[in-house]
Amino acid sequence: MTRPTLIAPSILSANFAELGAEITRIDEAGADWIHLDVMDGHFVPNLTFGPPIIKAVRGATDKYFDAHLMVTNPDDLLGAYVDAGCQGITVHAEACTHLDRTLAAIREAGCRAGVSLNPHTSPDCLRYVLDKLDLILVMSVNPGFGGQSFLSSQLAKIAEIKEMVDGRDIDIQVDGGVTAANAADVVSAGANVLVAGSAVFKGGPAAYAENIAALR
Ligand code: DX5
Ligand code: ZN
């Protein structure tokens, strides 16, 4: 079964002064998912937003809210992300002492469970939790900021994960430095969900639809 290729714009690159309107704009411009980059200033050297902001913009679109938790303590606030209206919650393997339990807790809360791997992290850590995963997120930059360059070292990791997933019902998502120039390589390596921030939001609202179309 070939999974459809989905475009998930990251609102990290949006105009935060008009966040709700920006989300409506990318919805109307063709986004499949809305990628929410939650950063706590500890797991990554940046601090963005959390459940209250997510809740505030939930009404801006009906599209899938894909929360990427770049936080040191993902277990502590899982319920708040569910209450805020997220459909997918992705935690970092590097931040989870008990990843199996955390993934089970996300599913028990009614969300799809995802795990993200920093560029240095081997997919081997996922071998024994594949049955608890709905999504694997490969970071193709060192997380914390938008607008960085794609780490091509991660293409081999995407292919390795594709092998490991072996036809299971698991999305393979790539995040960081994805552009129209490398999207084909990322998909042919095995990814089916593309996160893009600067590549979508560059040029302002008038360019969002063509930027998303260029990625697709
Ligand atoms: C980086 C974030 C990515 C980033 C993508 O820590 O997780 O989602 O915002 O932004 P671009 O597409 O600009 O690299
Ligand atoms: Zn992200």
All domains in the chain, ordered by first residue = 6-215 (3.20.20.70)
pTM summary value: 0.98
Gap from CA of 147 to ligand 2 centroid (Å): 12
Say whether 175 is catalytic: yes
pLDDT at 2: 80
Arithmetic mean of pLDDT, 24-46: 98
pLDDT at 94: 98
- Closest-CA residue, ligand 1 atom 4, reads 146
% of the chain surpassing 90 pLDDT:
99
Report whether residue 199 contacts ligand 1, using a CB cutoff of 6 Å. Answer: yes
pLDDT tens per residue across span 85-139? 999 999 999 999 999 999 999 999 999 999 999 999 999 999 999 999 999 999 9
Looking at the predicted structure, is the pLDDT value of residue 1 above 80?
Answer: no
Report whether residue 138 contacts ligand 1, using a CB cutoff of 6 Å. Answer: no
Q: How far apart are CA 174 and CA 161, in angstroms?
A: 11
